[in-house]
Chains A and B, each alone.
Chain A
């Protein structure tokens, strides 16, 4: 389990302010900071400099694996291990196999997307430290961990205040 890391969080009351603040924090050279919002804020990825995740590639690779795995499965079961003559059709009848190949493609892609999402998001996080209870309701936060580049408690506090933080507090986060 990941260890909680201390840092400073600024609590914001307006979406527009936190969006601008995130961009400014990024411009100030911080890289490990995080924005915490009760709902997805448009443009936050760009403001925080979050790159596109690798989940689509994981899904594609897993989908291809699923397709091949299904083909191997039906080939082994229907052609090699227990060949059955059904309606005089060839043992290796691709049209009959396609539904299974389709389903396993979807299953592999979907499940590995979920796994990739968990890995990316660092989940599961059991009982993480609470920065502010209202962050799931109507407040926004920017959290700068103490191990970030050029971290300096006074500087961070000043920066967050300048950016319009309603409240600045010392907290911990994963």
Chain B
């Protein structure tokens, strides 16, 4: 209640990063770069898995962030018009996603069975064709370039509308968004299969792409929740982002916590029930050598805790609770990808150290840096979106 009757004054200032934050980002980038170069030369076996984990972490958040933009356009959603720009800003990472993916190919011989000629030739059943490094690279480039293309079109139209106010741009974005959703469904699945599932080329799961998508989208909503709470209380913006938007993104976060658990369990239960050796190896690797607590941590902190905490209405409208749970989900998203990648390395014994931290800082700095740059170059709100009035009046009834 309350916010409906007492409309805040609308204010939109230019987004500027404080010099402290700029310094932190710069330091993170330097630490990350140093870790990468040092690891590249001295310890590639240790550095590349950390690189892959951090790279996939931010690539999944950025592309599902774009997916959020696309499905809101496709559904002609009005309530999200004033917060859409934050998700659009995540697409600024796409060029780096392509670059990071290409760089990953330098290290394939440390990561994948298909990256080394001797093990590549042991692959059977058509996998030599599918996992031929050139073919994998081609799919990766299509995913990267396609994402950049759609972001340029959809986000570009949205930015153009800020000056022209042309309603046709919104209509154009609808069909483009449907195109992106189809593209994303196919190529994000292939992206996760190529980069993560092929770490263990003898094992496959047909639900793997959906699993990575569910994980990424949940993390995106967590990240978006934090951005919204920060923006709501910031000096840059006032009136455009309210408790009501926060509430709805919180609902999405809760909903996709359930969706993640649903997909994760669907994958687990069928394999557990059928008990076929070629399928169970994935879960056996994740129940031995100290991986069991990590597996259970995923269940508890990625599903049970966020779900139960976000269930009451009040917790989604309380800044500290929503931010706390979002931070937990973002940490668990890293744990999730770590859980997908690391059992394939170091004889299945968990390894965590400065390498992982360094590579995470590297991509975090690039992701946040590109996003902040986008936000300081453009308006923080799509100010001439024809549906903006719906977003401003948005009101969640109980």
The proximity string for B residues 368-398 relative to A, scoring 1 for CB distances below 8 Å and 0 otherwise, is: 0000000000000000000000000101011
Are A46 and B5 closer than 8 Å at their CB atoms? Answer: yes
Are B273 and A43 closer than 8 Å at their CB atoms? Answer: no
Which of B4, B268, B269 has a CB less than 8 Å from the CB of A43? B4
Are B1 and A46 closer than 8 Å at their CB atoms? Answer: yes
Contacts of B135 in A (CB 8 A): none
Q: How far is the CB of B157 from chain A (nearest CB, A)?
A: 29
Which of B269, B395, B397, B398 has a CB less than 8 Å from the CB of A95? B269
CA of A67 to CA of B199 in the docked complex: distance in angstroms?
38
Binding site for A on B (CB under 8 A): 1, 4-5, 265, 268-269, 272-273, 275, 311, 313, 393, 395, 397-398
* Known contacts A87-B275, A95-B273, A98-B265, A43 near B395 by CB under 8 Å: yes
CA of A52 to CA of B312 in the docked complex: distance in angstroms?
12
Q: How far is the CB of B131 from chain A (nearest CB, A)?
A: 31
* Known contacts A60-B311, A95-B268, A98-B265, A45 near B398 by CB under 8 Å: yes
The proximity string for A residues 25-55 relative to B, scoring 1 for CB distances below 8 Å and 0 otherwise, is: 0000000000000001011011000001100
- A1 interface hit (Cβ, 8 Å): no
- A121 interface hit (Cβ, 8 Å): no
Give A46's nearest chain B residue, CB to CB: B1
Q: How far is the CB of B254 from chain A (nearest CB, A)?
A: 13
CA of A44 to CA of B208 in the docked complex: distance in angstroms?
46
Q: How far is the CB of B152 from chain A (nearest CB, A)?
A: 37
Are B273 and A53 closer than 8 Å at their CB atoms? Answer: no
A interface SS class: helix
CA of A87 to CA of B272 in the docked complex: distance in angstroms?
11
CA of A45 to CA of B1 in the docked complex: distance in angstroms?
9
Contacts of B273 in A (CB 8 A): 87, 95-96
Are B398 and A52 closer than 8 Å at their CB atoms? Answer: yes
Are B395 and A42 closer than 8 Å at their CB atoms? Answer: yes
Are A46 and B269 closer than 8 Å at their CB atoms? Answer: no
Q: How far is the CB of B286 from chain A (nearest CB, A)?
A: 14
8 contacts between A and B (CB under 8 A): A40-B397, A43-B5, A45-B398, A46-B5, A53-B398, A87-B275, A95-B265, A95-B273
Which of A42, A87, A98 has a CB less than 8 Å from the CB of B397? A42
Contacts of B265 in A (CB 8 A): 95, 98
Given contact pairs A45-B397, A53-B398, a sample of 9 additional A-B residue pairs in the complex whose CB atoms are under 8 Å apart: A42-B395, A42-B397, A43-B5, A43-B395, A87-B273, A95-B273, A96-B269, A96-B273, A98-B269
Contacts of A43 in B (CB 8 A): 4-5, 395
Q: How far is the CB of B315 from chain A (nearest CB, A)?
A: 13
CA of A96 to CA of B398 in the docked complex: distance in angstroms?
37
Contacts of A95 in B (CB 8 A): 265, 268-269, 272-273
- A99 interface hit (Cβ, 8 Å): yes
CA of A99 to CA of B5 in the docked complex: distance in angstroms?
45
CA of A60 to CA of B398 in the docked complex: distance in angstroms?
16
CA of A52 to CA of B311 in the docked complex: distance in angstroms?
15
Give A44's nearest chain B residue, CB to CB: B397
Q: How far is the CB of A100 from chain B (nearest CB, A)?
A: 12
Q: How far is the CB of A121 from chain B (nearest CB, A)?
A: 15
Q: How far is the CB of A43 from chain B (nearest CB, A)?
A: 6
CA of A95 to CA of B5 in the docked complex: distance in angstroms?
49
The proximity string for A residues 93-109 relative to B, scoring 1 for CB distances below 8 Å and 0 otherwise, is: 00110110000000000
Are A99 and B269 closer than 8 Å at their CB atoms? Answer: yes
Q: How far is the CB of B276 from chain A (nearest CB, A)?
A: 11
